[in-house]
Chains A and B, each alone.
Chain A
Amino acid sequence: MDQKNFIVAIVLSVLIIVGWQSFFPTKHTTPPPAPVTQAVPGAPAATPGTAPGVGTAPPAAPGAAPAAVAETFVARPEALAKSPRVTFTTPELLGSISLKGGRIDDVQLAKHRETLDPKSDPVPVLSPLGSEHPYYAEFGWSASDKALALPGPDTMWTADKPTLAPGQPVKLSWDNGQNLTFVLAISIDDHFMFDVKQSVENKSDKPVTLFPWGLVIRYGQPKAEGTYVLHEGPYGVFNGSLKEFGYSDFKGNKQQKMETTGGWVGITDKYWMATLVPDQKIKTDVSIKQTGSDTEPKYQIDYVAPGLSIAPGATGDNDQHLFAGAKIVKVIDDYREKYGIERFDLTIDWGWFSFFTKPLFWLLEWLYAQIGNFGLAIMALTVLVKAAFFPLANKSYAAMSKMKRLQPEMEKLKQRYGEDKQRMNQELMQLYRREKVNPAAGCLPIVVQIPVFFALYKVLYTTIEMRHQPFFGWIKDLSAPDPLTILTGFGLVQWNVPEFLHFFNIGLWPLFMGVTMFLQQKLNPAPTDPVQARVFQFLPIMFTFMMAPFSAGLVIYWAWSNTLSIGQQYFIMKRHGAPVGKQAVPAAALPATPPPADKKPNKTKPKKG
């Protein structure tokens, strides 16, 4: 009867889950490729700041020219061809700098592809105007004096060489016709950092005050994967503290302004980002805003440095960095050291438990360096965790074996004293003493595995180091779910499984994990609470469904961890002669219970521990 109810309950829950998914399909935030508005070349929108009369108040950094004409986008190479360019190829980057506007607007990751196919496109970090999703960085100057001609989005710069390479910086220059020469000296390294040194040489006969700025603009809201687990969007460290924003925080062209000394401001995706790093010693005004419209938003992050008063004959300059690339942990940490960037490590979202997640990542990366496969490194990590708690777990399993052997006798006790809990417990304790059952190790050895599991989940989800990392056989990407799923006939039939069936689309590794859970349950003693016992019988199935959408690496960890536990437990139980599996020792085979001593219940004092 109870069993029947339980099955009905399970069927109902499954129906609810499936029904929910078909009625409320997961919304995708990105609209289909829509016509992209392209900024029309025009005068730089150098809008003077709040107090233009006083030369010291910084004007705001300009954004994309507001006047816009709807235009459909073109393919990346075509968009790139619209302007003369300085190209660069480094071990990690492919790209170019537009001489029109002096924009860094073409950066692709040489070592990271869009999909598992090595022939797929390299991942774009920055893209030019006119392409599907323009995303670029610009550096310039503002002035309170409106008569000054300043370089803008349409300015044609002159480069001193056609290509840029690590150790061979390029110098873009432009003369404004008013005896001011503007220079952008851009250099790159072997990874993802651009050093941009802006300078102005004043050859006129009067001093000028200029406010250097840097900005990053991104057109359109990218599809964020799972913002509950990981932050994606604009963020930065301002005066030492991290602030994270969602794209939707700026809906209705809202704006956030911060004043900071040191730190950085950027826009991040899960694995890559474009981040401005101003000179760490100067006080800057940072703003993050949306421009355009809510349907065709542009997100802009910018900062304005304090004004430079440049005397006649003098040169004023401003040095800054732009990170445009993959958030590789070691690279990020090295940049933090090398350039003294305040809290640059926070560009990677390690979450609240970074004090644990990050060391686990280091350990995993070290194991990877020794073994050469991240899947094996995860397995080795599991062995280390198990080894650390091996003696404690042994103790627990020994206790468990004895308990399991005593189960029939306990049943007898329960039948005799079931009504009187106190008495029952006393009898139980006597039984334990007689049979020399030591208390189990407690839940600590199990509890410590929870943070390991969580940290591994976070590391697999967050770090680019895990992206597209293969295991053996069909697992080509440990950070993605197992691709060989039931509904594709384990890879035999390739079809697009409809969304409402995803819940049932379980991969091979999750199935194997479910089997290990089931086997482990067979070794464990059944819980004394009958409802609990019945519910637990179904939990391996529930967990199989629940774990199926998770990254293969995590499922492999769990399955492997269970396998190790089962081995250890099986060995210990055999040694203690506990019944393994279902066959229980007949109650008659056990020594008879001595007549229960008559004690008054209610007086037993709890043992102090």
Chain B
Amino acid sequence: MTCLARLAPTPANRQFPGRMMSFALPSLLLRGAIRLYQLTLAYFFVGACRYEPSCSAYAAEAVMVHGALRGTLLAAHRFCRCAPWGQGGFDPVPAPRVTAGRAGLSCQSARRA
């Protein structure tokens, strides 16, 4: 049982092969909160997004792929980029910088936390 992600592949790690996903508690909680938002308050923002994926989907993926801390920073950066005068369009979560080998390490540290 090196990492849960290997047992249960999802689109996200197919997108970034070899990358583990964060199942640590902070990242799970964050994703839960994002999902709650997506099913309630996001109602008022239907069709308003300039970017694909939308900020909430971006945040969920960023947190899953990069972990709670870096994911939150990426999401915050993305949110700040969304302004009526700015750009729009396809803006996916960047691929993780770490290699597959180091990802295993971070997976272990995530389990310890």
Contact = CB atoms under 8 A, between A and B. Distances in A.
A609 B46 contact: no
Contacts of A442: 48-50, 82-84, 86, 88
A539 to B, nearest CB: 5
Nearest to B58: A606
B39 A607 contact: no
A531 B38 CA distance: 10
- Most chain A beta carbons < 10 A, residue from B40, B53, B86, B92: B92
Nearest to B17: A602
A539 B52 contact: no
B50 A440 contact: yes
A426 interface: yes
Contact of B45 (A392, A421, A443): A443
A444 B46 CA distance: 13
Contacts of A525: 46-47
A403 B88 contact: no
Nearest to A517: B43
Given A429-B90, A609-B91, A439 B15 contact: no
B84 A444 contact: yes
B89 A607 contact: yes
A442 B88 CA distance: 9
Interface string A566-604: 000000000000000000000000000000000001101
B90 A440 contact: no
Given A442-B83, A442-B84, A601-B15, A606 B91 contact: yes
A379 interface: no
A422 interface: yes
B11 interface: yes
B44 to A, nearest CB: 6
A608 B86 CA distance: 9
B47 A400 contact: yes
A381 to B, nearest CB: 19
Interface in A382-397: 392, 395-396
- Majority SS at the chain A contact face: helix
Contacts of A227: none
Given A440-B47, A531-B39, A602 B95 contact: yes
A532 B42 contact: yes
A308 interface: no
Contact of A425 (B16, B43, B52): B52
Contact of A392 (B38, B84, B87): B84
A45 B65 CA distance: 72
A461 B53 CA distance: 39
B99 to A, nearest CB: 14
- Majority SS at the chain B contact face: loop
A446 B39 CA distance: 17
Given A425-B52, A607-B89, A535 B46 contact: no
B47 A439 contact: no
A529 interface: yes
Nearest to A403: B47
A271 interface: no
Interface in A473-529: 521, 524-525, 527, 529
B38 A446 contact: no
A399 interface: yes
Contact of B46 (A395, A536, A607): A536
Nearest to A422: B15
Chain B interface category by residue count: 20 to 34
A165 B47 CA distance: 63
Contact of B92 (A440, A535, A604): A604
A199 B95 CA distance: 80
Given A535-B39, A607-B87, A439 B50 contact: yes
A403 to B, nearest CB: 6
A441 to B, nearest CB: 5
Given A425-B92, A609-B87, A532 B39 contact: yes
A576 to B, nearest CB: 13
A399 B43 contact: no
A609 B84 CA distance: 11
A421 B95 CA distance: 14
Given A428-B52, A602-B95, A609-B81, A524 B47 contact: yes
Contact of A524 (B11, B46, B84): B46
A443 B48 contact: yes
B94 interface: yes
B40 to A, nearest CB: 7
A609 B77 CA distance: 10
A441 B84 contact: yes
A422 B92 contact: yes
Contacts of B43: 536, 539
A607 B88 CA distance: 8
Nearest to A444: B84
A396 B45 contact: no
B88 A609 contact: yes
Nearest to A608: B87
Given A443-B82, A539-B40, A429 B89 contact: yes
Contacts of B40: 535, 539
A539 B44 CA distance: 10
A140 B87 CA distance: 70
Contacts of A419: 11
- Most chain A beta carbons < 10 A, residue from B15, B45, B47, B94: B47
Nearest to A536: B43
14 contacts: A428-B52, A439-B89, A440-B47, A444-B83, A445-B84, A446-B44, A521-B46, A525-B46, A525-B47, A604-B92, A606-B91, A606-B92, A608-B87, A609-B81
3 shortest interchain CB distances as A-B pairs: A439-B88, A609-B87, A439-B50
Given A400-B47, A438-B88, 20 more contacts: A421-B15, A425-B92, A428-B52, A429-B89, A432-B89, A441-B50, A443-B45, A443-B82, A444-B82, A444-B84, A531-B39, A532-B38, A532-B42, A536-B46, A539-B43, A604-B90, A606-B92, A607-B87, A608-B87, A609-B82
Interface of A: 392, 395-396, 399-400, 403-404, 419, 421-422, 425-426, 428-429, 432, 438-446, 521, 524-525, 527, 529, 531-532, 535-536, 539, 601-602, 604-609
